[in-house]
Amino acid sequence: MLQEHPQMVFCAAVFAALTLGACASTNDSTPDIVDAGHSLPKDSGTQTQPDASMSSAPDSGTMDSGMQMGSCPERSAAFPFEDKFVTVTPQGLPEASIRYVESGSGPDTFVLIHGIPASAYLWRNVIPGLAQKGRVIALDLVGYGKSYRPETHPTFPQHANYLKAFLEALSIQNPVLFVHDLGGMAGLIYAANNPGTIKALAIMESAIPPVVPASSSASPSGCMAQQLDHPVCFWAFLKTEMGQKAIVDDNFFIEGAVASEPVCPVTEEAMAIYRADWPTPDSRRPLLGVPAEIAIDGQPEASYQEVVRFSNWLMTSQVEKLIIYATPGTLIPEPVARYAEANFPKTQIKSFGPGAHFLQEVNPQRVSELFNVWYDEKVK
């Protein structure tokens, strides 16, 4: 399929370059956090090796064996949950029907927020493990899955406002947020703008300091085509004409991202369900709003200010936090997790092991295990 679309081959190469570890470089270009007063020192003593008891990541000499399908757990493509819907109307935004599913019960509610281009479906095999500890709710963000699909993609702050309205509509107080990718933007903006409203926060493969605020100077190669060594290179590419064509015409977020998970590839049964959400170029056109919202070198300013605000919140908030990182990872490789551990109060990091970005598809049981251990130790 990719061979028929040259721009998709390049897009897949961009994603592969990041997921195969270039973005994990601990080079001199690690950016300071604007206005936060923190930076990652070179040769920092905080950059220690991960706790072997929490990591299943092989060393570089054995990584290939970790990528073989034979070592991958069974992952069901079924979605055995009842769809529920709630209608919300945040101030200044269109009315939206939001699909969600829930499972389990307990003193705490875990709200799972997916990223691009997924839906609550991404969490299907994580939910049962978490439901052993509490009430689990996974929603489709506006513009995704079975939720309201506007013609234009909501901005990151609008996603946060829809999340706020969703939590209020279901009378969910002090939830534990578990965020991934775009869900991190929504959840972190919500948390920063509504202090005191969440009990704890788990983050997996989302953009956090020092990866954001994003700066083109963070790439030591200047994002040359053969040296894609920082997520900012990927985001900048998606803003180009070629990147936008790949998103709309070639379904890059599905075929070049979800389908490119290198460690345990997403099953064909699950891929069919992901593809069904974005069947035509017109259905994918709203996704152009995602790269447009990502602030690089301070622009667009509104998005940049939101990132600065939640970055500062992460640096000061006393909320318990979990950072799950993978090897090689994409947005949160080990050095980024170590930075968070050193600079975010009340932050515990845990190694997922081999994986790139869609860790819920790689080993959902491992995701549940890491969350539950942290919850029992730090939150419960």
Residues that are catalytic: 181, 205, 357
The Cα–Cα gap between 339 and 21 comes to 17
CA distance 113 to 123: 9
* Token reading at 324: 């799950």
The answer to whether the CB of 285 falls within 8 A of the CB of 253 is no
Q: Measured between alpha carbons, how far is residue 161 from residues 6, 65, 139 in Å?
A: 38, 44, 14
Residue 172 identity (one-letter amino acid): I
Q: Report how far residue 268's alpha carbon sits from residue 338's, in angstroms, rounded to the nearest whole number.
A: 35
∠ CA 117-123-124, nearest 5°, is 115
Cis? peptide before 50, omega within 30° of 0:
no
DSSP state of 45: T
User: How many whole angstroms separate alpha carbon 300 and alpha carbon 302?
Assistant: 6
Exposure of 65 by Cβ count < 10 A (0-12 exposed, 13-18 middle, 19+ buried)? exposed
Cβ-contact 326, 337 below 8 angstroms: no
Strand partners, 102: 137
- The partner residues of 176 in beta bridges, in order of sequence, read 110, 200
CA atoms of 288 and 285, how far apart (whole Å): 6
